[in-house]
Amino acid sequence: MWNSERNMEAPQSPVKTAAVLVIGDEILSGRTQDTNSGAIARFLMGFGIDLKEIRVVSDDQAEIVAGLNALRTRYDFVFTSGGIGPTHDDITADAVAKAFGVDIGYHSEAYALLEARYPPGDFNDMRKRMARIPHGASLIKNTVSVAPGFHIGNVYVMAGVPMVMRAMLEAIAPEMPRGVTVTSVTISAQIPEGAIAETLAAIQKANPTVSIGSYPFYSEAGPGTQLVARGRDVQIVEGAASAIEAMLREKAVRFERL
Amino acid sequence: MWNSERNMEAPQSPVKTAAVLVIGDEILSGRTQDTNSGAIARFLMGFGIDLKEIRVVSDDQAEIVAGLNALRTRYDFVFTSGGIGPTHDDITADAVAKAFGVDIGYHSEAYALLEARYPPGDFNDMRKRMARIPHGASLIKNTVSVAPGFHIGNVYVMAGVPMVMRAMLEAIAPEMPRGVTVTSVTISAQIPEGAIAETLAAIQKANPTVSIGSYPFYSEAGPGTQLVARGRDVQIVEGAASAIEAMLREKAVRFERL
């Protein structure tokens, strides 16, 4: 059902889709703010890949397996973040192996990389856990702290530490497909959204290939609205943005492009 | 399968569970950082309710309906954020009605509240959209901008603007059940997690009712680890935290409780 609907919306577009699976109790407890999803979202935007869903699940094998299988069968790519370190709560690699129904064991290249990283005697059994990679996976380079991520099927498994995660995104960038990117125009207007909603709906209706979003905000100057026009055809997006600006001018609203 | 597993882990505990469904293209595009999930997580922690999953989906009716139905059948509570304003892209109320299989129409109290808010002539058709509430739902008060959220079944539907969302959390606080809250102790240690992973695993094994998380960080003083012990029995959590501190002292590691 999902695929047919998506195809109906964009019949000629081979737009790739993606999901993010964040693994971590620390996000669900509100202790840590997840910034990795946003970084992955912006990364994907650069390749014209549409991020369609983000899920955050706990450090629980059954949850990770179920989430990963739901997402990897539905989207072109899945990016996971978290749970690939040396401690007992790092269970992502095993969960990914289970989701794919493959074995897991020491990956010789990962093992060698990690062994070389530590002084003799410091490459203990727990650190060796970071060399356990599902069979059939290829490594994702970690230029920050050596311990690699990995790529299996359509799933990219990355670290949770933001600096390391971003380094892994850089490492996989060369293998990402490049599609037509989305052009986005943001207009900040000093008017409550309800006062322009009707005209805005008409502009949306006249531009079905542009996604027009309306995001209210409150500032010292009073209620305002950020209007965002997004689409893959630059000229059509520009046309919709111009229509929004014309509407604001007609209503004598103060606005600026961001 | 999920429920039986959860029950096995905590057979005597009537711990309530929850999920968050964030609705918004602006999060998926990386334009806006979602902070509502974290605010809801911390809110739930105050009531001893476990947040088990967060999902972010796009402004698409089928996505919202599917996400909501998956979550509301699995967890005790679902909290949604986003998509209840006056503009064309605000489709959450209709999606919730569809998910529950109920009709939707003007709610007399919501209508009256909104009508009273605007000067004569300003309560236009698009603003009236904010008075459309699924049948059988009760309103959630909005002390910031009047337009209410609503509560139907085990689902709380709230605004996306963080200030408004937080006001709605305050409004529903009195009706939240109060369970045993989780006690959390965080210890920041100036040592890489791989150097303490083995002892940490032993402490985790000795304290099965405590969830011990290990979160590496990088600071000017070198690699460090935040160790978090969480559980519902204060004494047992304190015992696990003391064991962690004893381990750090034995290894002459600099540490502090946060």
Give the homologous superfamily in CATH for domain A2-175: MoaB/Mog-like domain (3.40.980.10)
Residues of A in contact with B128 (CB under 8 A): none
Q: Where are the beta strands (DSSP E) in chain A?
A: 17-23, 50-57, 77-81, 104-106, 132-134, 138-142, 146-152, 155-158, 183-189, 211-219, 222-231, 255-257
Mean pLDDT of chain B: 94
At residue B132, does pLDDT exceed 60?
Answer: yes
Find the residue in B nearest to A114 (Cα): B194
CB A128 within 8 A of CB A114: yes
Å from A30 to nearest chain B CA?
5
pLDDT digits (tens, 9 = 90+) for B25-59: 999 999 999 999 999 999 999 999 999 999 999 99
CB B46 within 8 A of CB B109: no
pTM, 2 dp: 0.93
CATH 3.40.980.10 in chain B is located at 2-175
Residues of A in contact with B163 (CB under 8 A): 218
At residue A12, does pLDDT exceed 70?
Answer: no
3-class state of residue A122 by DSSP: coil
pLDDT (0 to 100) of residue B13: 55
CATH 3.30.70.600 in chain A is located at 183-257
Structure tokens at A143: 């230029």
pLDDT digits (tens, 9 = 90+) for A195-239: 999 999 999 999 999 999 999 998 898 899 999 999 999 999 999
CATH tag for B183-257 (out of 3.30.390.30, 3.30.70.600, 3.40.630.30, 3.20.20.70): 3.30.70.600
Find the residue in A nearest to B24 (Cα): A213
Please compute, for residue A122, the number of CA atoms within 13 A of its CA located in the half-sphere on the CB side.
12
Question: What is the spatial distance between Cα A177 and Cα A187, in angstroms, rounded to a whole number?
Answer: 30
pLDDT (0 to 100) of residue A13: 55
At residue B5, does pLDDT exceed 90?
Answer: no
At residue B7, does pLDDT exceed 90?
Answer: no
Å from A141 to nearest chain B CA?
18
At residue A6, does pLDDT exceed 60?
Answer: no
pLDDT digits (tens, 9 = 90+) for B233-243: 999 999 999 99
Confidence of residue B8 (pLDDT cuts 50, 70, 90): very low
**Quick one: DSSP state of residue A66?**
H
Residues of A in contact with B21 (CB under 8 A): none
pLDDT (0 to 100) of residue A189: 97
Percentage of chain B exceeding pLDDT 70: 95
Which of A52, A57, A160 has its CB closest to that of B58? Answer: A52
Confidence of residue B11 (pLDDT cuts 50, 70, 90): very low
CB B72 within 8 A of CB B65: no
Residues of A in contact with B186 (CB under 8 A): 31
Task: Provide the b/e sequence for A72-81 (b: ≥16 CB within 10 Å).
Answer: beebbbbbbb
At residue A7, does pLDDT exceed 60?
Answer: no
At residue B83, does pLDDT exceed 90?
Answer: yes
Question: What is the spatial distance between Cα B131 and Cα A99, in angstroms, rounded to a whole number?
Answer: 44
pLDDT digits (tens, 9 = 90+) for B92-105: 999 999 999 999 99
pLDDT digits (tens, 9 = 90+) for A128-185: 999 999 999 999 999 999 999 999 999 999 999 999 999 999 999 999 999 999 999 9
Residues of A in contact with B213 (CB under 8 A): 25-26, 59, 89
Å from A100 to nearest chain B CA?
19
At residue A8, does pLDDT exceed 60?
Answer: no
Q: Is the interface score ipTM higher than 0.85? A: yes
Å from A153 to nearest chain B CA?
23
Within A12-121, where are the H helices? 25-28, 36-45, 61-72, 92-100, 108-117
Structure tokens at A144: 């920050």
pLDDT (0 to 100) of residue B4: 42
pLDDT (0 to 100) of residue A111: 98
